[in-house]
Chain A
Amino acid sequence: MTHSTKEISQDDGLNQATIETNEDNESNHNSTEHAHSPVLTLDYWFSSKFNFIRATGMVLAVTMVLLLISGVFLLMYYQPNINTAFDSVNYTIMTEVEFGWLWRHIHSVAGSVGFMILYIHMFVTIYEGHYKKGGRETLWMSGTFLLIAYSLESFSGYMLPWGQMSYWAGSVITNLFAGGSLHLDGLVQWVRGDYVMAQAYLNRFFMLHVVVVPGVIIGLLVWHFPPKYTSVKKGGSKLSAFAKNFYSKDIMLISMYLVFFFYLVFFNYGFSMETTNFEIVDGLKTPAHIYPEWYFLWSYELLRPFPIDLGLIVFGISQIIFFFVPALDRSPNAVDASRRGLFKYWFWLLLIDMIVLTFLGKLPPTGMYQVTGLIASLVFCALWMALPVITKFEKKV
């Protein structure tokens, strides 16, 4: 299939219009690798080759639309009131409203799967070195901002069902603002709008979740698809027939994704709905196991093995460290990690270390798990400190 594309475009003398046709040719990899937006433009021109960045854009766009639609219907029945929030979700939406459960399942699964896509996208980008050269540093920056905004959106949404996990996760996260030994209790109260998490807290996180953060995310998404990469416009009947082929490819990709997505929505939604959150808030009883949703587990684990202040510093740095990847990577090579020196090992170590941290983040910090957690956290710090050093001595490919 790929082979044919190449041939045709060359025969037609349309090479300048087809980008990325020779991606298979490794030596030309850098010069022809570009990112595109299939989302914000109608007249676009792509290779039919599978491309992770294009696939991510497509799948993420569909996920965002699903989040938006399901969110609108949830908003029709959700009540941001500490006395009625839990039942408005678990009784009204889940039991009384026709297909209310569908919107809730779509919303929570899409939120979780969105993170999965973001993480995969991030690691593929790191692996392929796509964060450097040709103005792509800003693209990378907007991506890391997007991750932070998406985290905030997800966290604020997690507060809304007002179950035990909502409450206690909210308690732990807002307490981080006290800054450990700095004892900034006033700041914690300012964030909560109260001494404890009460009506003011629920209302403001509801506001963040449905107004401010979604707005920021949409803005960042637009920024994340710079016009430079969006489209190459060409007229002509033959080209439009050709373009149809690519639309068909997009539709195929989306429908395959929807099969996977709706399988989760109907048959495997448990991973995105923590069981403890089906218990109504009890401000005087902390659940036996408390942990955040899976996508926050690695940074949550970084908090635990260290004394409070050090833990907070490590946690704080871990939240923004990915932002600095283009600066920390001192090598000029923008190629797959497999073709680079020590970076190759660095990449796989980081990935595995973060999966280990994620796993341990869910387990109680006792005995063997605590020791392993400490080691994994130290490895995490060491890896980031080593990155500028190992990339500095990397040979140019």
Chain B
Amino acid sequence: MENYSRRGFIGKAVGAVAAVGAIASLTAMKKTWDPLASTKAAGFTTLDMSIYKEGEMAVEKWRGKPIFVLKQTSEMLKTLTAKQKERIVMVGDEGFLINIGICTHLGCIPAYRSQSEDFLCPCHGGMYDHSGDVIKDPPPRGFDIPPFKIDGKKLVLGEEGPEYRKMKNNGITL
């Protein structure tokens, strides 16, 4: 009996060691599938916030997605409700709309209409105001806000700063 159990043990040990080897190989394969370091590094975009003009829409690119940047005029800021104001990113004493410019309904890119100061989605007529909040269905919520970190007059997209975390905790963005 003793001999038997010892043999059984060695058989199991072979199996266990082979499993370790298999897991190590699978780990290497998984890592090969990971995004490249250079791709990850390219996931951070720095915006110089001093170049934008009040009331003029600018589209930047971050991780392949359009980023709407709209520096709010003082009139714009005045019209906003307290809730809408929470969506505005304050760099110094200047307010910006910084949103992922993709309709939260089905992913089309809405167009900015400077006269009415709102966004209209060409696909299903969804509308957003100049703080990026939804004002006409069908979109379920306002534009999403990309993770950002304020660094003096600069804004780093892709990094989570305290202002962004606050927005996230308050349910302003997903």
B-contacting residues of A (Cβ < 8 Å)?
73, 76, 92, 96-100, 102-103, 251
Interchain CB contact under 8 A, A98 and B38: no
Contacts of B37 in A (CB 8 A): 96
SS of B interface (majority): helix
Contacts of B31 in A (CB 8 A): 98-99
The A-contacting residues of B in range 9-55, CB under 8 angstroms, are 14, 28-29, 31-34, 36-38
Contacts of B36 in A (CB 8 A): 92, 96-97
Interchain CB contact under 8 A, A73 and B29: yes
Q: Within the assembled complex, what's the spacing in Å between the Cα atoms of A96 and B33?
A: 12
Q: Within the assembled complex, what's the spacing in Å between the Cα atoms of A97 and B34?
A: 8
Contacts of B28 in A (CB 8 A): 98-99, 102
Q: Quick one: closest A residue to B34, CB to CB?
A: A98
Contacts of A251 in B (CB 8 A): 14
Q: Within the assembled complex, what's the spacing in Å between the Cα atoms of A73 and B29?
A: 8
Q: Quick one: closest A residue to B31, CB to CB?
A: A98
Contacts of A98 in B (CB 8 A): 28, 31-32, 34
Q: Quick one: closest B residue to A99, CB to CB?
A: B28
Contacts of B33 in A (CB 8 A): 76
Interchain CB contact under 8 A, B38 and A103: no
CB distance from A97 to the nearest CB of B (A): 6
Q: Quick one: closest B residue to A251, CB to CB?
A: B14
Q: Within the assembled complex, what's the spacing in Å between the Cα atoms of A103 and B29?
A: 9
CB distance from B33 to the nearest CB of A (A): 8
Q: Within the assembled complex, what's the spacing in Å between the Cα atoms of A92 and B28?
A: 16
Contacts of B14 in A (CB 8 A): 251
Contacts of A100 in B (CB 8 A): 32
Contacts of A92 in B (CB 8 A): 36
CB distance from A248 to the nearest CB of B (A): 9
Interchain CB contact under 8 A, A96 and B38: yes
Q: Quick one: closest B residue to A102, CB to CB?
A: B28
Q: Quick one: closest B residue to A98, CB to CB?
A: B31
Given pairs A73-B29, A96-B38, A99-B28, 10 additional interface contacts (CB within 8 A): A73-B32, A76-B32, A92-B36, A96-B37, A97-B36, A98-B34, A99-B31, A99-B32, A100-B32, A102-B28
Q: List 19 A-B contacts (CB under 8 A).
A: A73-B29, A76-B32, A76-B33, A92-B36, A96-B36, A96-B37, A96-B38, A97-B32, A97-B36, A98-B31, A98-B32, A98-B34, A99-B28, A99-B29, A99-B32, A100-B32, A102-B28, A103-B32, A251-B14
